[in-house]
Amino acid sequence: MAAKNFKYVILGGGVSAGYAAREFAKQGLKPGELAVISKEAVAPYERPALSKAYLFPESPARLPGFHVCVGSGGERLLPEWYKEKGIELILSTEIVKVDLAGKTLVSGTGESFKYQTLVIATGSTVIRLTDFGVKGAEAKNIFYLREIDDADKLNEAIKSKKNGKAVIVGGGYIGLELGAALRINNLDVKMVYPEPWCMPRLFTSDIAAFYEGYYANKGIKIIKGTVAVGFTANSDGEVKEVHLKDGTVLEADIVVVGVGGRPLTTLFKGQVEEEKGGIKTDAFFKTSVPDVYAVGDVATFPLKLYNEIRRVEHVDHARKSAEQAVKAIKASEEGKTIEEYDYLPFFYSRSFDLSWQFYGDNVGETVLFGDNNPTSQKAKFGTYWIKDGKVVGAFLEGGSPEENQSIAKVAKVQPPVASLDQLAKEGLSFASKI
Ligand code: FDA
Ligand code: NAD
């Protein structure tokens, strides 16, 4: 089979792929120059919807409603949009072999694709309990959530196990968002995680105490400090019990596992420089291989603000890194340069009627402010992180758009702080003054 030739190929069809395609179109693209190759069967969409509105029992979000770029307030890129722009959307096509030196990609069905410039946007995959040999972890109705197919299977199980029992393994993003989603669907939910409090890679114990209290009030039972070590199934192979390391046995009709992600870099092993588990890039998302860029979850890039190189597994960076890479590609073709990527980390989550945002870096001392009582009618609280006498990070639950903007500004400006007690007293008004 002859190889298909493109000037640009985006490998991956997720969030960064969609935003990269839009940026290519903005910058000027001739028909037939760009291909997006994705193993998913649908055009790029806003992945965060999968753990939120996609699982709602009433009026759930469905495609085409959340194709990119609606998540950041832009135009929705429907499959027709790619056609209009002359972009080839090559779906249900998994690339299984990559030759970066030969500028060739090969699919699972043996199709070859050649490119002049490649944008790697393969994102992450889930870490599975079978990866660390947990017994019985291949039973039916044990779910992971990464792609729309996973969410469809979970939705079917939610329907068929009405009012059943669910166990969530993991206390990170997936754990907290899915715990809420299953509870909203009226399942009896238990959550299990090894740490002393949820989301320890971002939350302080005070922040976590609010969410754990709120979840408990919603009827979710949280079991901390232990892990799932085995599952038993019924004669149909469906999960029935979760065995914990501390000896507890939990009944389960549905199990959702969220024990972390792993960037999809295996296709490129030995062909490109890696660092911190990702593909190393410069401030324009250019990798160590000429004409190859990497964006989104897979990129380990210079975070200028902290003079460090990091990987970020969140949607805001997926969008912005994709735009930066395409701008850099287009500028370099004209012998021009663009500004270095200067990213302010931004993470957020939503569950039940809660909504938080975080900006900056969660290092140094912390100061809690506001009302973090989980029984309050409308709790609003936050936390500042202070390093070397300056505020470097800020978290806010229940903020208005203006208040969220003010904590973003604080994290960017990094104002000095004379007294932590004073900061605690001033709370959100400290940020509003900046
Ligand atoms: P992304 O995973 O979006 O896309 C990768 C694409 O590459 C997929 O389409 C995949 O199929 C394809 N691919 C991989 N290997 C391939 C191959 N060999 N051949 C062909 N195609 C291949 N973040 C946040 O800030 N707020 C939030 O609320 C959420 N919520 C959220 C919910 C859920 C369920 C998940 C899984 C993740 C989030 N995130 C999030 C994280 C955020 O979605 C994530 O950081 C971005 O989607 C990353 O974008 P990428 O384009 O890098 O990968
Ligand atoms: P995570 O890293 O947020 O959380 C992993 C959690 O797994 C840990 O906090 C821990 O509680 C738990 N864990 C680890 N080993 C365990 C074990 N053996 N048994 C039980 N629990 C164990 O990862 P995730 O929640 O799986 O999320 C996957 C990816 O999706 C990440 O990249 C995340 O950023 C992304 N995501 C982001 C959002 C968001 O930003 N709102 C939402 C959903 C998913």
Q: What are the distances in angstroms from CA 263 to CA 120, 260, 400, 429?
A: 11, 10, 33, 39
Return the beta strands (E) in 49-169 as ranges: 88-90, 95-99, 104-107, 112-120, 124-126, 142-143, 165-169
Thinking of the domain 129-259, which architecture would CATH place it in?
3-Layer(bba) Sandwich (3.50)
Ligand 1, atom 30: nearest CA belongs to which residue? 48
Identical fold, 4-125+262-334 and 129-259: yes
Q: Which fold has domain 4-125+262-334?
A: FAD/NAD(P)-binding domain (3.50.50)
Residue 255 pLDDT:
98
- The C-alpha atoms of residue 3 and residue 155 are separated, in whole angstroms, by 39
The rounded Å distance from CA 123 to ligand 1 centre is: 5
DSSP designation for 423: H
Neighbours of 32 (CB within 10 A): 13
Nearest ligand 1 atom to alpha carbon 318 = 49
The rounded Å distance from CA 278 to ligand 1 centre is: 14
Find out whether 361 and 344 touch, Cβ atoms under 8 Å: no
- Beta strands 254-257; 142-143: pairing state: parallel
Residue 224 pLDDT:
97
Residue 305 pLDDT:
98
10-residue block means of pLDDT along the chain (434 residues)? 95 98 97 98 98 98 98 97 98 98 98 98 98 96 98 98 97 98 98 98 97 98 97 98 97 98 98 98 98 99 98 98 98 97 98 97 98 91 98 98 98 96 96 92
DSSP designation for 267: G
Q: Which fold has domain 353-433?
A: Enolase-like; domain 1 (3.30.390)
DSSP designation for 162: T
The CB of 44 under 6 Å from ligand 2? The reply is no
The CB of 258 under 6 Å from ligand 2? The reply is yes
The CB of 347 under 6 Å from ligand 2? The reply is yes
- The C-alpha atoms of residue 241 and residue 252 are separated, in whole angstroms, by 5
Q: Which two tokens stand for residue 112?
A: 């070859």
Token pair 């506001």 is at which residue? 370
The rounded Å distance from CA 324 to ligand 1 centre is: 18
**Secondary structure (H, E, C), 214-238:** HHHHCCCEEEECCCEEEEEECCCCE
- Beta strands 124-126; 112-120: pairing state: unpaired
Residue 103 pLDDT:
98
Q: Which two tokens stand for residue 145?
A: 């959530």
**ipTM value:** 0.98
Q: Which two tokens stand for residue 120?
A: 């790697």
What are the helix and strand counts (H, E) for the chain? 9, 26
Q: Which two tokens stand for residue 234?
A: 């019924």
- The C-alpha atoms of residue 258 and residue 170 are separated, in whole angstroms, by 5
The CB of 223 under 6 Å from ligand 2? The reply is no
Token pair 């029984």 is at which residue? 375
The CB of 261 under 6 Å from ligand 2? The reply is yes
Helix orientation angle between 15-27 and 315-333, rounded to the nearest 10 degrees: 30
Instruction: Please state the domain extents for the chain.
Output: 4-125+262-334, 129-259, 353-433
Q: CA torsion sign, 75 to 81 to 84 to 86?
A: positive
Cα maximum dimension of the chain? 70
Instruction: Mention every residue, 6+ apart, whose C-beta is less than 8 A from residue 420.
Output: 365, 367, 386
Ligand closest to the CA atom of residue 46? 1
Ligand 1, atom 29: nearest CA belongs to which residue? 48
The rounded Å distance from CA 242 to ligand 2 centre is: 19
Nearest to 370 by CA among 399, 348, 401: 399
